[in-house]
Copies of this chain bind each other. A is one copy, B any other.
Amino acid sequence: MPRNAQADLSELLAGKGVRVTPRRLEVLAELARERDDVTAQELWRRLRERDSQTGLATVYRTLALLADAGVVDTMSHHGTELCYRLCTESHHHHLVCSSCHRVVEVEQCGLGKWLETVTRQHGFVAIDHRVEITGLCAACR
């Protein structure tokens, strides 16, 4: 990994008030390498393949921390495992290929007015929302 990418990751943590450690950088670097989402178990397996000594518990603890800090997004494809993914900071949604599990981030949000309307209609105040579109990507079609 390029030396400045390393530094970026450190800043990413420090900026969130999170203590910087070698383990956390390893986890973060692995997340940065993944194009798509991964489970904690998968991430751990890949770290081991790179001869990292990181323990599974640390992976779980780190991912929970990062999710808390808003550095990673969590998704669950309606299986029993939680998936993690390093995400852009801005509001966005996901396009997921049901065949190859590729994830594409969509920056635009098409909900705008509708969101306003339906939440008010039911007496809710919206805090957050997520849209997950499942489909087939170009390669899998």
Q: Which residues of A contact B (CB under 8 A)?
A: 74-76, 78-80, 82, 95, 97-98, 104, 106, 108, 110-111, 113-115, 117-119, 122-138, 141
> In the complex, which residue of chain B has the Cβ closest to the Cβ of A133?
B129
B141 touches A135 (CB 8 A): no
Which residues of B have CB within 8 Å of A113? 110
Copies of this protein in the complex: 2
Which residues of B have CB within 8 Å of A80? 80, 82
* Selected contact of A136 from candidates B74, B125, B129, CB within 8 Å: B125
Per the bound structure, the CA–CA distance linking A111 and B131 in Å amounts to: 10
Which residues of B have CB within 8 Å of A126? 133-135
A96 to chain B, nearest CB (A): 9
A74 touches B78 (CB 8 A): yes
